[in-house]
A and B are shown apart, each in its own frame.
Chain A
Amino acid sequence: MKLNRRHFMAASAGVAATTLAAPHVYAASHGGKPKVVVIGGGAGGATAARYIAKDADGAIDVTLVEPTRTYYTCFFSNLYIGGFRTIESLAHSYGTLASEYGINVIHDYAVGVDRDAKTVTLAGGDTLPYDRLILSPGIDFVDGSVPGWDVTKQNAMPHAYKAGSQTELLKAQIEAMPEGGLFAMVAPPNPYRCPPGPYERVSMVAHLLRDINPTAKILIIDPKEKFSKQGLFEEGWNNNYPGMVERIGPDFGGNNVSVNADEMTVDIDGSVEKVDVCNVIPAMKAGIICEAAGINDGNWAPVSPHTMQSRADENIYVLGDASAQGDMPKSGFSANSQAKVAAMSVRAALTDSKMFPAKYSNTCWSLIDTDNGVKVGASYEATDEKIASVESFISQPGEDAALRKQTYEESIGWYEGISADIFG
Chain B
Amino acid sequence: MTRPGPVVFAAFYLALVAPAAGQSGFGDAEAGAKVFRKCFSCHMVGPDAFNRVGPHLNGIFGRRAGSLEGFKRYSDGLKRMGADGLFWDFDALGAYIENPKAFASDTRMNFDGLDDPQERADVLAYLRQFSASPANIPEAAPTAMPREVELSEDILALQGDKDYGEYLSSECTTCHQLDGDDQGIPAIIGWPSEDFVVAMHAYKEKVRPHPVMQMMAGRLSNEEIAALAAYFEGLE
Contacts and interface: CB of A to CB of B under 8 A. Distances in A.
Give the size category of A's interface with B. 35 or more
Contacts of A119: none
B216 A409 contact: no
A406 B186 CA distance: 12
Does more than half of chain B's interface fall in helix, strand or loop, or is it mixed? loop
Give the size category of B's interface with A. 20 to 34
Given A400-B1, A420-B179, 18 more contacts: A354-B167, A356-B168, A377-B215, A390-B219, A392-B215, A396-B3, A400-B2, A400-B3, A402-B82, A402-B83, A406-B80, A412-B184, A413-B182, A413-B184, A416-B177, A417-B174, A420-B173, A420-B177
Interface string B222-236: 000000000000000
B35 interface: no
Interface string B145-178: 0000000000000000001100110110111111
Contact of A421 (B80, B167, B174): B174
Does more than half of chain A's interface fall in helix, strand or loop, or is it mixed? helix
A379 B214 CA distance: 11
- Count chain A CB atoms within 10 A of each CB in B6, B84, B163, B211 and give the residue with the most: B211
Interface stretch (A194-202, A296-304, A336-344): A336-344
Nearest to A420: B177
Contacts of A92: none
Contact of B176 (A398, A405, A406, A417): A417
Contacts, number: 93
A372 to B, nearest CB: 13
A418 interface: yes
Contacts of A340: 170-171
The 4 closest A-B pairs by CB, nearest first: A413-B184, A413-B185, A406-B83, A393-B211
A405 B182 contact: no
A301 to B, nearest CB: 23
B41 interface: no
Contacts of B1: 398, 400
B24 interface: no
B183 interface: yes
Nearest to A406: B83
Nearest to B64: A402
12 contacts: A340-B171, A378-B215, A391-B219, A400-B3, A403-B85, A410-B175, A410-B185, A412-B183, A413-B182, A413-B185, A416-B183, A421-B173
B30 interface: no
Interface string B83-111: 11100000000000000000000000000
